[in-house]
Amino acid sequence: MCGITGWVDWERDLRGRQHTVRAMTDTLACRGPDDGGTWLSARAALGHRRLAVIDLAGGTQPLTDAGDEQAPQAVLSYNGELYNYRELRAELQSLGHAFRTESDTEVVLRAHLQWGAAAPEHLNGIYAYALWDARVEELLLVRDRLGVKPLYYHAYADGLLFGSEPKAILAHPEFRAELDAEGIAELFALPAAPTPGHGLFRGMREVRPGHVLRVTRAATREVRYWQLTSAAHEDDAAATTARIRELLTDTVERQLLSDVPLCTLLSGGVDSSAITALAALARDRDGHDKIDTFSVDFPGSATALRPDKWRTTHDAPYVQAVVDHVGSRHTRVVVPDDDLLDARDQVLRARDRPGWGEMDASLYLLFREVRRQSTVALSGEAADEVFGGYPYFHATEAVAAATFPWLHGRETPAALLRPDVRAAVRPEEYTAQQYRDALAGTPELAGEEGGQRRLRQVGHLALSRWLPPLLDRVDRVSMAVGLEVRVPFCDHRLVEYAWNIPWEMKSLGRTPKGVLRESVRDLLPAQVVDRPKSGYPSTPAVRYTEVLTSRMHELLADPGAPVFDLVDRELVRDAVRDGRPLPSPRTAPNPVGGLDHLLQVDEWLRAYKVGLR
């Protein structure tokens, strides 16, 4: 993967703004440690940082369609992996296109020269890219169908700034980091269901998944090129499991393509285990070495686990069962509390916003260890959204609730807002409106009623509001260490097929994700296939909590702490004094999650010099 950034201005000549474009590009060096470059013209400037994965020698960017002595028709800065680039390359060659490199980047460029703004419809992959069409002076900003790769922008009167991460836009001297009422609502009321397209900072937006932003002197408009379509599912259970297996096998095999070391992330759940098993089979068939696998754990976690609906079992025994079964070379990354504490600042800088604290820090430390051996990792992310595996899919009251089901019965950090801030932000109204908007976007199936209709709505809420922050977290934390994480369960063909599988078939055998389990049953040990859903692990040690509690006491004593411009100091003081957990942005139980969140908000406001509007 890579980092992209750039600037379009209809009034200023950008050829003299190399220093600014270089500064924006340099903020993304962690995303692309292997190479970097810029391209400038009067109206447009593009920057790129490269993580070399395919065609290590020939994939330098920004990429133009012409040689050095010719004026280009198009210039591309691309972040992503195209899994059908070989087929597309052959098709484009048959249409008369000649290629100068072996990279998938050039395939994307020439797809645009052939099909224009319709090019993304031909792509299978994860990507976010910027293409400047010099022929008509138009900038296209494109994001993949599920939003695996991020892309932010700031539009102003005479132009537009963009970047893979907010930090690239923040590096521009004319953009100010500010938080308005909508941003406060996103941060405190909807951290687990963010609004599509909202970039948190005032004036910053995000290209929505499955959309193209078309930027010309006359207008800036967003065009949707992909959406789910509801239709009757005609396959029986046997045909459905066979089709899932076929799609998943093809997807994994496509995503094994790499010119650098590759591994899988293995938690011992059915999702990551299925990816690992399919990868191991493909590598063995093609005569490659054993697949490398990685898992994360904490000291003392085996005896400290207290099962709940989100964390049912300890990962390690199931991980080992898969390792033994497929014969992978496994590394168990054990994360002590002191390392978690040390990683908090790196994670904040990676995400450009307050995140999920300890959960982010441990993922960062896992990815850092993975990166020592591999440049690419395959993950089981998104299977629970696609096949309905989370607890809220199976909790009657949560499904029936007139809100995002994962927020049912939960208090969000918005409960801590000061009265004057609450009056301006109106978090309950904001949440209710966002829920109505999300619900209205569900592709309905004619004639579907009652429970089936509601579960289709919940599935769409999961894909459109729950999945995006998880994908964003994985992208930011992995790219902070120069690791590319691929997500086979986000292949749009698999998502489209699974979308219309009836709920009773998805829950085949009255088991969450039953149809997925049956489709891979022959690949894995029975205890792994039948293992109940168990979420990302959390540290059982008390030191992390003790240190954060001490830091909160220090914060409460600081009269200038910026977080208390937003949050009621006395509410926080009373909760900390009484030992009550503060409301957390996370859905899974975590006694320190709320504490972590407030501390991060304060650290973020200070580090990014965020103004409040």
Catalytic center residues: 2
Tokens of 350: 């990676």
* Secondary structure percentages of the chain, helix, strand, coil, to 5: 45, 15, 40
Question: In the numeric block, which tokens belong to residue 23?
Answer: 């500064």
* Cα–Cα dist 19/21, whole Å: 6
- Continuous H helices in 62-103: 85-94
User: Among residues 226, 239, 246, 240, which one has the least CA distance to residue 501?
Assistant: 240
Question: Residue 570, class by beta-carbon neighbours within 10 Å (0-12 exposed, 13-18 middle, 19+ buried)?
Answer: exposed
Pairing state between β 152-156 and 611-612: unpaired
Beta bridge partners of 212: 142, 223
How many Cβ atoms from other residues are within 10 Å of residue 232's Cβ?
10
Q: Alpha-carbon distance 597 to 193, whole Å?
A: 16
Q: Give CA angle at 340 (79, 539), nearest 5°.
A: 110
d(CA 404, CA 437): 11
Q: Which residue has the tokens 């942005």?
A: 585
CA distance 226 to 214: 15
Asked if 205 and 197 count as a contact pair (C-beta separation under 8 A), the reply is yes
DSSP state at residue 349: H
User: Is residue 539 a contact partner of residue 362, using CB atoms and an 8 Å limit?
Assistant: yes
Q: Give dist(CA 212, CA 153) in Å, integer.
A: 12
CB 63 within 8 A of CB 112: no
Closest by CA to 73, choosing from 128, 131, 142, 145, is 131
Write the DSSP symbol of residue 567.
B
Order of all β-strands in the sheet with 35-40: 35-40, 44-50, 2-9, 159-163, 152-156, 205-206
Exposure string over 398-420, b if 16+ CB within 10 A, otherwise e: bbebebbbbbeeeebbbbbbbee
CA distance 81 to 260: 13
Neighbour-count burial of 457, counting CB atoms closer than 10 A to its CB (0-12 exposed, 13-18 middle, 19+ buried): middle
Per DSSP (E only), the strands in 10-107 are: 35-40, 44-50, 63-64, 74-82
Residue 173: asked if its preceding bond is cis (omega within 30°), the reply is no
Burial class of 230 by CB neighbour count within 10 A (0 to 12, 13 to 18, 19+): middle
> What is the phi-psi region of residue 596: left when phi exceeds 0, alpha when psi lies from -120 to 50, beta otherwise?
alpha
Tokens of 595: 């504490």
Quote the CA–CA distance of 341 and 357 in Å, as a whole number.
9
